[in-house]
Chains A and B, each alone.
Chain A
């Protein structure tokens, strides 16, 4: 007897499915190599600037530590140390890096679809076997991969050059400009800049106008993020310590930790005095309290604490502890990724519906 075995019908790939990632990557490179080489050159130039800055910072850091400045920073030798002076150069690098998401949005994102619409080449691209949806999604995925690498490398370079300053608490990983240029968050910002630029390009359909719009919108958002968003984000649900010794300069809570007075690696949110009747003291009242508190014998932290206790004042400090750094990093990254996903969906809708 003959047994007939039914062979399963092999799944036939649709023509579009036969266009692989490598094919789209090749097209991406061929069509946008100018922008990609430009980004590469920018990264190399930035890397050179970072290396120059790091060499000086590392040498100054060695002298700083050797001079005992970590324990006693307010000496002539420490205040004139190169590490302190270098703190002007490093923020300049950070500001430059803050512009990178804008650059990505302007020169890689905005022209990505705007040039297709402006030159009419979308009528070529959209009618190839790959199909417009597959082409756009895969192109965006490849572009975002490029941008993630760009952002992570930028962030790592900044981390590297910033490291000595963080060790001696001249800089904090929490502060605006440092917080948002950490490697993964920098990558998320670059992806956000890319996708916002792409959407603007798809809507506007003119390359130069889209670049200008991307510069304005992404630049505004980047500035707003540095000035407002990071401060707002890091003020969410802080830890509050009450009844502690007042920290002379609470803005330096991270620095103060080096001298055993603060909370290591923490981020100061706010501090306040509560009076004998439980009311929060105004600025004028605080000045009055502090003058009285420090005018007594000794004037140190213990004296201040006992003065506050005797006069029924309570000093409170709100801060984000060191352990929460990654919570906030991941929260900010998740927010940017979510917004980026929305931008991709909106872009897809524009591409599907835009008049030919």
Chain B
């Protein structure tokens, strides 16, 4: 089953397209990182997935064909929006009561235990919590809904390194314990490899790259060689990004056969950060699942 599936998804705000011809399939049971520069459309894609906005073109479904924003979808998707917007004038306890009242099956006991473990007092006003505590509160409320899909929009953006670590550890633990699929957007590329096992790179409103992180890393490489090799590289590989330094050139390429020898090139393994940055620097480059892969994923899910 795909937890999110989009075909030709487009979203326009007045005259600006935030998303355009966006096709992807996010498999279930994965921790998926959605990365991209500012304005790439990450938040819009997540908002489409949780039903906050509807698409202008194309379509998007969640959890194996549900309409985003439908009662069935809302009951199984928990969303933590950017900056974890909560009612600042309420106490943590009251905020928990609000979430409990709005969600049948809300596990208030689990939320309280988690908040207790995080030393977030129930009587404190939400507005008086630190940014990290607010994010943890929002995550606690989301996890207490026992969702099938947890969607997090920039959960790490305003956290210090320790808080980032704690938050993502919480997410990972819950994902493992309760088999929750997780889709989160992030600017913090350096920490993705540790937490995510599936990557989607979004640039200029379109999906540039999507796939299992291990597969993506093994299918790409950093090659170094004389600058004369550059023309050959164009012919032999899918060239993602090239940087020349004097007579030497360093290229990031997608290899048709990762095991094949590469005469004339010095090969180095690529890190996830290098891979992501290479794609972000080249908006025209892509390694897409495309609509065909979406269809294949759908067929695989139904078989």
Contact = CB atoms under 8 A, between A and B. Distances in A.
Interface of A: 14-19, 23-24, 26-27, 30-31, 34, 119-132, 135, 355-356
Contacts of B51: 126-127
B50 A119 contact: no
A15 B98 CA distance: 16
B295 to A, nearest CB: 29
B47 interface: yes
A121 to B, nearest CB: 5
A64 B275 CA distance: 94
B86 A124 contact: yes
B85 A123 contact: yes
6 contacts: A16-B74, A23-B101, A30-B98, A124-B81, A124-B86, A131-B74
B110 interface: no
A355 B79 CA distance: 17
B90 A120 contact: no
Nearest to B79: A127
B122 to A, nearest CB: 13
A15 B85 contact: no
B94 interface: yes
B136 to A, nearest CB: 15
Closest 10 CB pairs of A and B: A15-B75, A120-B85, A18-B104, A123-B81, A128-B102, A23-B101, A16-B71, A356-B52, A127-B79, A14-B71
B101 A129 contact: no
Given A15-B75, A126-B51, A132-B69, 7 more contacts: A14-B72, A15-B71, A16-B75, A119-B85, A123-B81, A129-B75, A135-B102
B180 to A, nearest CB: 16
A15 B104 contact: yes
A34 B90 CA distance: 11
B97 interface: yes
A126 B90 CA distance: 18
Max chain A C-beta neighbours (<10 A), residue from B75, B78, B79, B145: B75
Nearest to A119: B85
Given A31-B98, A131-B74, A19 B52 contact: no
Contact of A129 (B13, B89, B102): B102
Nearest to B103: A129
A264 B79 CA distance: 66
Contact of B90 (A14, A31, A128, A130): A31
Contacts of A34: 89
Interface in B45-79: 47, 50-53, 69, 71-72, 74-75, 77-79
Contact of B69 (A18, A30, A131): A131
Contacts of B98: 27, 30-31
A123 B98 CA distance: 14
B23 to A, nearest CB: 22
A331 B77 CA distance: 47
A120 B83 contact: yes
B71 A129 contact: yes
B10 to A, nearest CB: 15
Contacts of B50: 127
B138 to A, nearest CB: 8
B276 to A, nearest CB: 26
Nearest to A134: B71
B88 interface: yes
A131 B102 CA distance: 9
Interface string B84-112: 01111110001001110111110000000
A324 B90 CA distance: 50
Interface string B133-172: 0000010000001000000000000000000000000000
Nearest to A31: B87
Given A15-B71, A129-B71, A356-B52, A30 B81 contact: no
A128 B103 contact: yes
A27 B81 contact: no
Nearest to A16: B71
A32 to B, nearest CB: 10
A355 B14 CA distance: 10
A18 B74 CA distance: 13
A323 B88 CA distance: 54
A121 B104 contact: no
A130 to B, nearest CB: 5
B77 A127 contact: yes
A123 B53 CA distance: 10
A142 B191 CA distance: 46
B292 to A, nearest CB: 31
Given A15-B71, A15-B72, A124 B103 contact: no
B74 A128 contact: yes
B102 A121 contact: no
B52 A126 contact: yes
Contacts of B47: 356
Contacts of A128: 74, 99, 102-103
Contact of A121 (B77, B87, B145): B87
Contacts of B74: 15-16, 127-131
B284 to A, nearest CB: 29
Contacts of A125: 102
Interface string B252-290: 000000000000000000000000000000000000000
Contacts of B138: 124
Contacts of B75: 14-16, 129
A121 B85 contact: yes
B251 to A, nearest CB: 40
